[in-house]
């Protein structure tokens, strides 16, 4: 694990994994960005995504978003938002001297990834997952499938037993299971992205991977239609379990082999 300091003074942790299989000539590193309340280990190491990529001859850089994993976790909402996290990625690209890269993002990390790819020509190919039509429908209002105020309250509650909203309770329990800083996550939830993203500006070939039982990926077809040339692949699982679908990691590796 290494860290670098961003332009606003927040230290971001990143993890480098060297290729273990035969080197693939001409292919850039793969950068992985995890989802809300998760981290590199939860989204990428445990499901076998990192192992599949390195076995395929790819070098991997996995980022712990601010407020997550081993990165700094301030509690000021002004220091959060997916647009700020996208800037962190771009600054990491600069820090590592990357001229080209493949980008993989899941859930919150997928939103960070599309914001990045819409403005960053260094993204060669992109895999996103766990998001759907609501991202294409951003119109200045919060995502309709999430009660952000309930989730924020659940994260800030002293006792999870006092949380009555089932969806918010699920987010809180997941955060507790990953050992996350709940107040940092609440700060991110207060600042979560809700502005239109210029999806039509994305030039990187893109595939969207979604679970067939994931309500957060509803309307995936609308999102794919908004990204030029994007493709959709439906796997088995809900928002959390689809990462463990045996087809998920190979789908990432195969698409990035193009």
Task: Mark out the alpha helices in the chain (DSSP H runs).
Answer: 40, 49-55, 82-96, 108-117, 133-136, 148-156, 166-177, 182-190, 220-226, 248-256
Reported as a single tens digit per residue, the pLDDT across 79-132 is: 999 999 999 999 999 999 999 999 999 999 999 999 999 999 999 999 999 999
Q: Please report, for the chain, the start and end positions of each structural domain, with discontinuous segments joined by +.
A: 2-140+194-256
Mean pLDDT value across residues 64-71:
98
pLDDT band at 142 (very low <50, low <70, confident <90, very high): very low
Higher pLDDT, 106 or 147: 106
pLDDT(185) > 90: yes
pLDDT(189) > 90: yes
**What integer best gives the mean pLDDT of the chain?**
94
CATH number of the domain located at residue range(s) 2-140+194-256 in this protein:
3.40.50.1820
Mean pLDDT value across residues 64-76:
98
Mean pLDDT value across residues 53-57:
96
Q: How crowded is the C-beta side of 217, counted as CA atoms within 13 Å?
A: 26
Cα–Cα distance measured from residue 113 to residue 85, given in angstroms and rounded to the nearest whole number: 9
Q: How crowded is the C-beta side of 25, counted as CA atoms within 13 Å?
A: 0
Cα–Cα distance measured from residue 64 to residue 1, given in angstroms and rounded to the nearest whole number: 10
Q: How many CB atoms lie within 10 A of CB 199?
A: 21
Reported as a single tens digit per residue, the pLDDT across 228-238 is: 999 999 999 99
Reported as a single tens digit per residue, the pLDDT across 1-33 is: 999 999 999 999 999 999 997 777 789 999 999
Mean pLDDT value across residues 154-161:
92
pLDDT(144) > 80: no
Mean pLDDT value across residues 27-56:
97
Specify the pLDDT at position 146. Answer: 64
- What is the pTM (predicted TM-score) of this model? 0.94
- What are the helix and strand counts (H, E) for the chain? 10, 8
């Amino acid at each position: 694990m290494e860290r670098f300091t961003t332009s606003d003074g927040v230290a971001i942790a990143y993890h480098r994994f060297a290729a273990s299989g035969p080197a693939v000539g001409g292919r850039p590193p793969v950068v992985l960005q995890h989802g809300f309340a998760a981290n590199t280990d939860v989204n990428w190491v445990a499901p076998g995504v990192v192992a599949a990529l390195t076995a395929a001859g790819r070098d991997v850089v996995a980022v712990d978003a601010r407020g997550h994993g081993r990165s700094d976790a301030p509690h000021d909402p002004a220091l959060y938002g997916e647009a700020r996290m996208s800037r962190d990625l771009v600054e990491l690209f600069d820090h590592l001297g990357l001229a080209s890269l493949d980008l993989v993002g899941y859930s919150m990390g997928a939103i960070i990834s599309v914001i990045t790819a819409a403005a960053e020509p260094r993204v060669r190919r992109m895999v996103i997952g766990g998001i759907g039509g609501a991202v294409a429908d951003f119109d200045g209002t919060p995502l309709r499938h999430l009660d952000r105020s309930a989730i924020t309250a659940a994260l800030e509650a002293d006792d999870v037993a006092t949380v009555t909203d089932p969806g918010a309770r699920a987010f809180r329990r997941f955060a507790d299971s990953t050992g996350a800083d709940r107040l940092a996550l609440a700060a991110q939830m207060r600042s979560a992205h809700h502005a239109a993203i210029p999806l039509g500006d994305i030039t990187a070939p893109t595939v969207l991977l979604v679970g067939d039982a994931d309500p957060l990926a509803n309307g995936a077809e609308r999102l794919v239609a908004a990204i030029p040339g994007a493709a959709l692949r439906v796997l088995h699982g809900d928002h959390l379990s689809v990462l463990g679908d045996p087809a998920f990691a190979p789908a990432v590796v195969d698409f990035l082999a193009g």
